Structure 1
């Protein structure tokens, strides 16, 4: 039996596992991991470039290059922002939406398989704890981002 690990170490290992699953599913659909994450991030609807960069933790130049590459593949399109004519939002094409849904479902299926042997109560407790952690982290991110900090 292996030694129990502390929470932070367990979360780091979980992060690596999820990234590995994303990579495997991405390859199945002839996408890079970042391309699959981009498509999954857009499933709920068009997103502005700044928000997309924040979601994917990419700098402006990196997100622009990523969007350019998936746009050339016909998976996303740039649409004018109704509120700011200078800005654009990134939206999935029909092909991109299909591939994004398949990628998302593939990741979810593989993660469900990995956790299938956990008792139902443990799965529910783990889901609630991780949901609370991510919600708290997202709320904190909005508070401490440079754009929201006054000098």
Structure 2
């Protein structure tokens, strides 16, 4: 097996990205969520950011995030709370219902993604995880 060239690496990365996004969209749709709503739930699993911080995480403008959160609040998935460190700011977090949903979605997504790495050895899967982690921007 020959080593892929830079163009082939980029092509494979894009193809895998599209495949993963399609699988994530399928999992989200099964729960009547958009891909953006799924991303928001994933971000909120382990933090309660201010609305502006959530907008930054999602790469969206604040008005779009406000609408996104309004819809999630109506569904009972997200709660708003006053920020303790800034009286003007609002923090958002998941409700218990949303934490349960996030757990279900995590299991479903793991099942959907498993075939992508099925043919890799444990060492290859570990190396892939390390390499993908190095490609991510530093956590804020």
After TM superposition, is the score higher than 0.5? yes
Alignment of 1:82-97 (within 5 A): 82-97=84-99
Which sections of structure 1, spanning at least 5 residues, go unmatched?
143-151
Distance in 2, Cα, partners of 1:115 & 1:25? 18
Alignment of 1:1-16 (within 5 A): 6-16=8-18
Alignment of 1:132-147 (within 5 A): 132-134=134-136, 137-138=137-138
- For residues 107-143 of structure 1, the C-alpha deviation after alignment (integer angstroms, 9 at most, x for no partner) is 2222123211212221111111001111xx236xx7x
TM-score when normalising by structure 1 = 0.81
Distance in 1, Cα, partners of 2:10 & 2:56? 23
Which sections of structure 2, spanning at least 5 residues, go unmatched?
none
Distance in 1, Cα, partners of 2:64 & 2:110? 26
Distance in 2, Cα, partners of 1:106 & 1:138? 27
Count of aligned pairs between the two proteins: 135
Distance in 1, Cα, partners of 2:55 & 2:110? 23
Alignment of 1:1-151 (within 5 A): 6-134=8-136, 137-138=137-138
Distance in 1, Cα, partners of 2:8 & 2:55? 31
1:39 touches 1:99 (CA, 8 Å); kept in 2?
no
1:43 touches 1:101 (CA, 8 Å); kept in 2?
no
Runs in 1 of length 4+ with deviation above 2 angstroms? none
CA RMSD of aligned residues (A): 1.6
